[in-house]
Amino acid sequence: MEIYLDTAHVADIAKAVKTGCISGVTTNPTIVSREGTPLRQCITAIAAVDPALTILVEAVSPTAKELIDEAHRLAELAAHVVVKLPMTPHGLAAARSLSRAGIRTTVTLVFGLTQAIAASCAGAEYIAPFVGRLDDMNMGGLALVRSIKETFRAQAVGTKIIAASIRSCQAVADLFTAGCDVVTMPAAIFWKMLEHPLTEAGLLQFEKDWKTVPGTL
Ligand code: E4P
C-alpha cells in the first residue's frame, strides 16, 4: 500500500515527504506544464527532495519506436523512474519492448477492463485507471477498479494498480480497500487524509490536562 503525490510542485512534494508517508510522485504533461520549467529540471528537482522516490514520467512520442527511445531517455532522469505509456497499440508495443529491456512502465489513461487486461498482457508493471474522470461522467471509477482487481487476482497476474485522478479522501479509502497497490493524489487531498476533528479535540484536551501534571520529565 503506497501513497504517491500527483503533482510536480517541488515545495508541495518536499512538505508532504517530511511526513514519511509518500513513496512516489506522478506527473503527466498537464502537471509538468503547470510548473513552467523544462521536464529534465522538473524531474531532477523532485528526485533531489528524496532520491528514494518513485517518479512517474510520461512519454509522448507518436510511434512505438519513438516511445521506446524516449522511455530510455526518461529512465535516465532519476534513480527510480517509471515511464508512463499511453493506452494505445503503440503504447502497448512499447510496454512489451521496455519490460523486456528492464525499464519500468505504467500504462496510463485506462478507462476499461479490457484495456487493463491488454496492458497487463503487454508486460506493464502498473496500470493507471483514471477513477475521477470516470466518476465525473457518472461511469463508476471504483467499480472499474474492483473488476480489474478481481480479474488480476483470478488470473494471478502481478500487474499493479495505481489509481489516479483522485477527487476525494473517500475515493482514497475506497480504492485502497478495493486492493489498489498505489493511490496517487493531489497534495490537498493527502493533507485532508491526515485530519480528524476527534484527533484535534483529543490533542487540545491532552494539552490542557498535561499542564496540571506536576513536575517535569
Ligand atoms: C496521474 O498520473 C494522472 O495523470 C492524473 O491523476 C490525472 O488526474 P486528473 O484527472 O485530475 O487530471
Q: Whose CA is nearest to atom 7 of ligand 1?
A: 165
pLDDT tens string 69-78 = 999 999 999 9
**DSSP characters over 118-166:** HHHHTT-SEEEEBHHHHHHTTS-HHHHHHHHHHHHHHTT---EEEEBS-
pLDDT of residue 83: 98
Ligand 1 centroid to residue 71 C-alpha, Å: 20
Domain housing 167: 2-210
Cβ neighbours of 211 (radius 10 Å)? 7
pLDDT of residue 75: 98
- CATH number for the domain spanning 77: value is 3.20.20.70
Average pLDDT over residues 160-189: 98
Burial 51-79, CB ≥16 within 10 A → b, else e? eebbbbbbbebeebeebbebbeebbebbe
Q: Is the pLDDT of residue 79 over 90?
A: yes
Ligand 1 centroid to residue 130 C-alpha, Å: 7
pLDDT tens string 44-60 = 999 999 999 999 999 99
Ligand 1 centroid to residue 108 C-alpha, Å: 9
Q: State how many domains the chain has.
A: 1
CA pair distance 107, 118, nearest whole angstrom? 10
pLDDT of residue 89: 98
Q: Whose CA is nearest to atom 11 of ligand 1?
A: 165
Provide the whole-model pTM: 0.96
Q: Does residue 215 form part of some domain?
A: no
Q: Is the pLDDT of residue 139 over 90?
A: yes
Q: Is the pLDDT of residue 16 over 90?
A: yes
Q: Does residue 205 form part of some domain?
A: yes
Q: Which amino acid is at 191?
A: W
Residue to mutate, 56, 130, 145, 189, ligand 1, most ligand atoms under 8 Å from C-beta: 130
pLDDT tens string 106-115 = 999 999 999 9
Which atom of ligand 1 is nearest to 56's Cα?
2
Ligand 1 close to Cβ of residue 186 (< 6 A):
no
pLDDT of residue 216: 82
Q: Does residue 42 form part of some domain?
A: yes
pLDDT of residue 45: 98
Q: Does residue 200 form part of some domain?
A: yes
